[in-house]
């Protein structure tokens, strides 16, 4: 029962991250030359790809005890890369838009980074649970 609850929490975190990334960085953007039509932006698609991999591949890897270690590793790599990319995005935005220091905390990507780390620790709990079951 605990494993199922952790797996659902992992899916919810990854799904929330996917929707959040699409809202902040939509890869289908309006075409200025043709009103009403959309064009594909490959740069913004990369920010959508990481949480998509997390939602689909990491979840699949955590479903089986034998592949949970790979899910844990991939989940950790995605969180580390995501933390670096999101922190860089925040810093670049602050410099480009001259955001005042009192807005740095609330207008940063810190809540998004916290969501990524919550996803990681849920994955860690799933991995630890799988390891404990293997030893008994």
- Computed over every residue of the chain, the mean pLDDT equals 89
DSSP 3-state of 29: strand
d(CA 21, CA 17): 6
What is the average pLDDT across 39-66? Answer: 92
pLDDT given at position 134? 55
Q: Which residues contact 10 (CB under 8 A, 6 or more apart)?
A: 58, 59, 62, 119, 122, 123, 126
pLDDT given at position 131? 86
pLDDT higher than 70, residue 133: no
Domain that holds residue 25: 2-135
How many distinct structural domains can be found in the chain?
A: 1
pLDDT given at position 77? 97
pTM here? 0.85
Q: What is the pLDDT of residues 3-24, one digit of tens each?
A: 999 999 999 999 999 999 899 8
pLDDT higher than 90, residue 72: yes
């Amino acid at each position: 029962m605990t494993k199922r609850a952790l797996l659902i929490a992992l899916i919810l975190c990854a799904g929330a991250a996917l929707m959040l990334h699409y809202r902040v960085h939509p890869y289908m953007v309006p075409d200025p030359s043709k009103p009403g039509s959309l064009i594909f932006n490959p740069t913004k698609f990369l920010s959508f790809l990481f949480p998509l991999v997390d939602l689909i591949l990491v979840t699949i890897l955590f479903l089986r005890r034998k592949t949970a270690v790979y899910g844990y590793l991939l989940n950790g790599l995605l969180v580390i890369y995501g933390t670096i990319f999101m922190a860089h995005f925040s810093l670049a935005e602050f410099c480009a838009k001259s955001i005042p220091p009192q807005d740095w905390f609330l207008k940063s990507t810190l809540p998004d980074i916290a969501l990524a780390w919550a996803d990681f620790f849920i994955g860690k709990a799933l991995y630890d649970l799988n390891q404990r079951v293997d030893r008994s």
